[in-house]
Chain A
Amino acid sequence: MPTTELLLGGVMMAALCLYAVFGGADFGGGVWDLFASGPRKAEQRALIEKAIGPIWEANHVWLILAIVILFAAFPTAYSAISIALHIPLTLFVVGVVFRGSAFTFRAYDDRNDRRQQRWGLLFSLASVVAPILLGVLAGTVASGEIHVVAGVVTSGYVAPWLAPFPIFVGLFALALFAYQAAVFLTAEADAAGAAELTSDFRQRALIAGALVGAVALVTFGLSFGAAPRISAGLTERPWTWPLHLATAAAATTAFSALWKRRFAVARFAVVAQTVLILLGWAASQYPYLLVPSHTLSSAAANPRTQGLLLIAIAAGSVLLFPSLYVLYRVFKGERPFRVLDRSKE
């Protein structure tokens, strides 16, 4: 039986994975809104708006859940991270606020082009900035550059995160989210029977997929110097190897399925790829929550709170997952994650 702190860490990781998949795709949608181009610019943006409109708020809440679990179950780690990463956290929050509000304002503001463009620009720029910062935060936590001595952060407020490794993790997150979104949008355009739009997004997905691979290589290379624990976790532990092989398989499958225009397979594989990458990160960093000062057990809340949290999470999930299922069923087809032909509206 795993310990309660491991279970809570697992739940937090699950929430982060779901955020990376669903929230990540919504951010990626914003990226493609920024890069909308060619003769079908307007159609591209319309497809993005349709795809994320009904669900982005629900997708966004995975982040809130992850944060709440972090501070309820691992309060000292939350506290140290909040102090050391004050600047990137603030910038990330600003990005999140602009992304969500600008997207909503665009939907409810005047349909006049200039207004729409301004909101659209704010929405899409925020969608680019927020994933980079999210990656920077994750990269810094993993790098081991945040030092906490007797509860006091001694590593300063800038140097740990304004460094090549965290920044490349940020770029990696951006590329990955954009890739996911492009694959999802390709599949949605294909299901809607819009052949040209499908090829627009397929092309974007292929470019983004290649970028994901390139940035991953650089990041991995940097990790040897900058995040020794991560690189050791990635390479030296025997039990992380199956995980990496699975990640590689998912990545290859996603890319080749995209190439062969088997979009349903590509979508499934890209989701698997994202989840496996996050699990690989978690496994490499285990048992550290904040490298090297806080482990899951050293940061853990008192056992009674942990137990009650797990009960609350279980009870909440009973409510949550069926309603999420209904949401996706209504907006993404008869089965969840399958695309509804929305062109019939």
Chain B
Amino acid sequence: MDHLTYARAQMGFSLAFHMLFAAVGVALPLFMVIADVLFRRTGDRDWLEFSKRMAKGTAILFAVGAVSGTALSFELGLLWPNFMGTFGDIIGLPFAMEGFAFFTEAIFLGIYLYGRGRIPGGLHLAAGVGVALSGAVSAFFVTLVNATMNLPRGFDMVNGHPTNIDPLAAMFSVPWKHETLHALLACYQATAFALAGIHAAVLLRHPKSSLFRKAFAVSLAVASVTALLQPISGDHSAHSIAESEPLKLAAAEAHFKTQTHAPLHIGGIPDVNAGEVHYGIEIPSGLSLLATHDPAAEVKGLNDFPREDWPPVAKTHYAFEVMVGAGSAMALLAVVAGFLAWRKKGLPDSRLFLWAVVASGPLGFIALEAGWLVTELGRQPWIMHGVMRTRDAVTPFPQLLPPFWTFTFLYLFLGVTVVYLLFRQLRAAPIEAAPPSVGGSDAHH
């Protein structure tokens, strides 16, 4: 790999890793608070136990999210000093606000985790709400930075330096609405699907456990609602991108030629040199319909843009397909869940359905990572679209191989440890209505 590739790989790997923890750190507190509210309402100790478990998970994941986030605030400069030196004061404002929101989250989390039973219940719940809210707010601000990089606004470039800077216009660049909505929903959706999958797996072994039935019900409910909302948000994003980032849309859809009645390619292998998509399913006028809600509309293709500005078409397209595919599967599961719940007037818990939920457990995170790849790959070869190329932002530091491997091993180690610890927490479960021998066999699972 060359210099630039190492830098991109380290950044990409760090972000991909951090994102998992950050997303869970945003969403898990919501479950923690829901369970707390239900416990206060009903007095059912299952809810208390569920809340405590969510809190433990939050504690572990938040700590890793906090340190990997710190690492990122340094890596931005370590890998892209020219980008940070030139645009630091343009993207700095939302980062500073994210810093404060994150700080508040850390404080409330400390109060919440260590304050149970020591501070009044109302204050404890308020701290939990504070964690959930500030987590969402910090995700909101950090996504604004991405919106600015995708469509830089609020300044003019004069001799390679931004001038006439309007930091607020830069902070709320056009994509901000759809990006923040899509990203926040994705955090809740990904976490909810993972939780639903885990609890479905436990229910397959201990179908009568009242604790896990409750945990499963809440996760499935959040998963279903977000899975149905996300396609609407995605449609809104597609619309917005068609207008403001046509090149990204063209790459994501592997749409080579500008045309009316543009077809939609599902699957297939983009051939960049020939400007065609092989083996895919082609839906006539599909892309025009998706991008503008008008089947006859013209959609700009890659051929309208200089070749040197093209993103890596195939990779962007595959990432997009993975995101849409996973999203569609999750939406389908949500519809099935709703139908089963309606027919049964209760929690759907047939073994087949539980297995389906287990299988879709990772889909939310797959879609989250794939969606992030779409927006990042789709912006290449620019770090700040149209203004600074990624290769011009990279550090002159000559030896990027050692830091790349250092961070890669560091994050792999952390990832493996966290997964192990989370499973340990799950196993430490008191499982009601399950014979002890079954609980014992869990230890080998």
Chain A residues in the interface with B (C-beta under 8 A): 53-55, 57-58, 60-61, 63-65, 67-69, 71-76, 78-83, 86, 89-90, 92-94, 96-101, 103-105, 107-110, 151-153, 157, 301-302, 304-306, 308-309, 312-313, 316, 319-320, 323-324, 326-327, 330-331
B92 touches A97 (CB 8 A): no
B388 CB, nearest partner CB in chain A, Å: 13
Q: For residue A85, which residue of chain B has the nearest CB?
A: B78
Contact count band on B: 35 or more
Other A-B pairs, 14, CB within 8 Å; known A60-B106, A61-B106: A58-B110, A61-B66, A68-B99, A72-B88, A72-B89, A79-B88, A96-B71, A97-B414, A108-B60, A305-B165, A309-B96, A316-B96, A326-B111, A330-B118
A83 touches B396 (CB 8 A): yes
**A55 partner residues in chain B, CB cutoff 8 A:** 110
Tell whether B113 is near chain A: CB-to-CB under 8 Å: yes
Identify the 9 closest CB pairs spanning chains A and B, nearest first: A72-B92, A75-B88, A79-B85, A82-B77, A301-B89, A316-B100, A104-B63, A54-B114, A100-B67
Count A/B pairs, Cβ under 8 Å. 215
B421 touches A301 (CB 8 A): no
Partner of B96, one of A69, A82, A323: A69
**A57 partner residues in chain B, CB cutoff 8 A:** 62-63, 66, 106, 109-110
How long is the Cα–Cα vector from A92 to B425 in the complex, in angstroms?
Answer: 31
How long is the Cα–Cα vector from A75 to B74 in the complex, in angstroms?
Answer: 13
Partner of A153, one of B76, B91, B93, B396: B396
By secondary structure, the B interface counts as helix
**A312 partner residues in chain B, CB cutoff 8 A:** 93, 96-97, 100
How long is the Cα–Cα vector from A151 to B396 in the complex, in angstroms?
Answer: 12
Q: For residue A313, which residue of chain B has the nearest CB?
A: B96
B395 touches A330 (CB 8 A): no
Q: For residue A316, which residue of chain B has the nearest CB?
A: B100
How long is the Cα–Cα vector from A107 to B421 in the complex, in angstroms?
Answer: 10
Tell whether B403 is near chain A: CB-to-CB under 8 Å: yes
With A67-B74, A73-B92 known to touch, is A108 a contact of B104 (CB < 8 Å)? no
Q: Mark B101-142, 1 if CB is under 8 A from A, else 0.
A: 011101111110111001100000000001000000000000
**A60 partner residues in chain B, CB cutoff 8 A:** 66-67, 70, 106
How long is the Cα–Cα vector from A157 to B403 in the complex, in angstroms?
Answer: 14
B397 CB, nearest partner CB in chain A, Å: 4
Q: Count chain A CB atoms within 10 A of each CB in B67, B111, B165 and give the residue with the most.
A: B67
B406 touches A104 (CB 8 A): no
**A68 partner residues in chain B, CB cutoff 8 A:** 73, 92, 95-96, 98-99
B70 touches A320 (CB 8 A): no
Q: For residue A119, which residue of chain B has the nearest CB?
A: B417
With A97-B70, A100-B63 known to touch, is A305 a contact of B92 (CB < 8 Å)? yes
Q: For residue B102, which residue of chain A has the nearest CB?
A: A61
**B421 partner residues in chain A, CB cutoff 8 A:** 105, 108-109
B194 CB, nearest partner CB in chain A, Å: 18
Q: For residue B124, which residue of chain A has the nearest CB?
A: A330
